[in-house]
Amino acid sequence: MSKAIFSFFLFFLCGFSMASAQDSNLVSFAADAKVSGPPSIVAAKDSKLASSAAAAKGSSIFPPWQKGCLDIHHINTGRGNSAFLVLPDGTTVLIDAGDLDRAVFEKKNAPLRTSPALPFDTASAGKTIVNYIRQVAPLLQNTGIDYALITHFHADHYGQVDVNSPSSKKGSYQLSGMTEVGDLLTIRNMIDRGYPAYDFPVDLRRYYKSAPGASGGGGAPAVPSSFLNYLDFVEHYVAAGKMKAAALQAGRDDQIVLRYDAASWPDFHIRNIKAGNQVWTGKGKETIAVFSANDVLDKKGAFNENPLSLALRISYGKFDYYTGGDNTGREGEDLPGGRDSESPMAEAIGKVDAMSLDHHGNRDANNAGFLKVLDPRVVVAQTWCSDQPGQETAHRLANGRPATSSTGKTDVSSPGKPATPPPDVFYLYLQEATKITLGPWITRSAKSLEGHIVIRVMPGGDEYYVFVLDDGSAMPTVKNRFGPYRSE
């Protein structure tokens, strides 16, 4: 059998010719829809009906996961980060479930604008995430999530509550982002940066209860109850015996594991690169502290959560993927309070095939040295605000890495010639104002400017594809497909 035919056969096994919406368990959006013509999630009784509906629209339903594939879904809710992973044996992982308050953010940060809520304006991020998961998760896994991670405690990564947020009918907490997801889907293991002590860089319980000036994420004002509300949610499910909770421990590769058939996929593992101020050195499970508590506290005792974000490297055979929340890569006099978390991580991470940009591609992250070491072929930018990505980051990605001479210095004999082609960049949502600011040189170089972005790694990890899904549709319909890419 030729290599090309074998590759096609593997792709077929991972569902390229199949369609299954799993709609019978979906949360209805009908009651929430207050705009004309929103995509209504009405249960399709079987996969044939879902497939026929997609065909009638001239599009195709995203092919369902099959055993051996690694799927990495970057979900565009318009309200922050959320990524859902289906590992080769069917183990599922949710990384963040942001739900930023658009009105609060835009009032404080005018003239910045956020992207619209998707798939329609009155949809909550939690319900959008749950509906998406129930359509793409393995059939036996769409009622629960094996691992859920919160990279750091900012609204666009775990939710934001106020006095008007709906209350849970299951416990004494309100629903937004991760807490809403957890009320609709069982979260078996909850992982964040501080459980149970929550004592870095200060006592977080006391801090978020008494410090209204604390950063609320994305420049939004703090809502102290959002953190305490999350703790109430976790404590409720832990006490009920329905959830286990833990802090991510940097250096480990045995904390997030294949739960159902690890023996069949021995070349798959997830390495915890960073948690808080602890960074893996690349040796065994050894870690170092890259900054102290005092380094991140200002004169008033306030701090920014971003450089405290968790970071992971996901490896499957030759394939490697990096994700690191809102870790930052700049510090110094021109950026008061900034911390360079990226440079200490870079050598431990090494080269990757794909990555999610740190901090939505903002200008205080994804420094040149970091991108040079990781050298990704595919980049996903989880953008939702009109100043994302930062111009510096966008130009860095569009221009590729400069050629170097045998001495390792920039090769001046080949000015403008990149050592490697620019990566393929996929934005979740690029605002019209952002397109104008960046210019056609940047926007034309991107592979996609809006949509859910899915990386599907084929069995064994030797190659992968990128799908762009329609974020305005209640069903995961494919707009475009790129690949195959060869893992390096």
> pLDDT of the chain along its 488 residues, tens only?
554 444 444 444 455 433 333 444 455 443 343 332 222 222 332 333 233 333 323 458 899 999 999 999 999 999 999 999 999 999 999 999 999 999 889 999 999 999 999 998 888 999 999 999 999 999 766 679 999 999 999 999 999 998 889 999 999 999 999 999 999 999 999 999 999 999 999 999 999 887 554 445 555 555 548 999 999 999 999 999 999 999 999 999 999 999 999 999 999 999 999 999 999 999 999 999 999 999 999 888 999 999 999 999 999 999 999 999 999 998 776 666 679 999 999 999 999 999 999 999 999 999 999 999 999 999 999 999 999 999 999 999 998 765 543 444 434 344 455 567 899 999 999 999 999 999 998 899 999 999 999 999 999 999 999 999 999 998 899 999 999 999 99
Torsion of CA 264, 267, 270, 271, to 10 degrees: 150
- Counts for the chain of helices (H) and strands (E), in that order: 14, 20
Rounded to an integer, what distance in angstroms lies between the CA atom of residue 246 and that of residue 233?
A: 14
Q: Label the pairing between strands 83-86 and 70-74.
A: antiparallel
> Measured between alpha carbons, how far is 428 from 78 in angstroms, rounded to an integer?
9
Using alpha carbons only, how large is the chain's radius of gyration in Å? Answer: 21
> Which token pair is 425?
């960049």
- Beta carbons of 411 and 428 less than 8 angstroms apart: no
Greatest alpha-carbon span in the chain: 68
Residue 204 to residue 224: CA distance in whole angstroms: 10
Q: Residue 56's pLDDT is what?
A: 28
Give the contacts of 472 (CB within 8 A, at least 6 positions apart). Answer: 39, 118, 119, 120
User: Which residues, in sequence order, are bridge partners of residue 426?
Assistant: 380, 448
Q: Tell me if 350 sits within 8 A of 314, measured CB to CB.
A: no
Q: Which of 323, 331, 395 is nearest to 359 (CA)?
A: 323
Residue pair 131/27 in contact by the 8 Å Cβ criterion? yes
Domains and CATH numbers, the chain: 68-486 (3.60.15.10)
- What's the whole-model pTM score? 0.87
Query: Tokens 């996961």 correspond to what residue?
Result: 65
The type of residue at 355 is M
Q: Is 411 helix (H, G, I), strand (E, B) or coil?
A: coil
DSSP H or E run through 296: helix 293-296
Collapse the DSSP code of 342 into the 3-class scheme (helix H, G, I; strand E, B; otherwise coil) and give the result: helix
User: Is the backbone peptide bond immediately before 196 cis, with ω within 30 degrees of 0?
Assistant: yes
Alpha-carbon dihedral sign for residues 23, 25, 27, 33:
positive
pLDDT for the residue 57 = 38
Angle at 222 between CA 132 and CA 247, to 5 degrees: 60
Nearest CA among 445, 335, 442 for reference residue 389 = 442
pLDDT recorded at residue 144 = 93
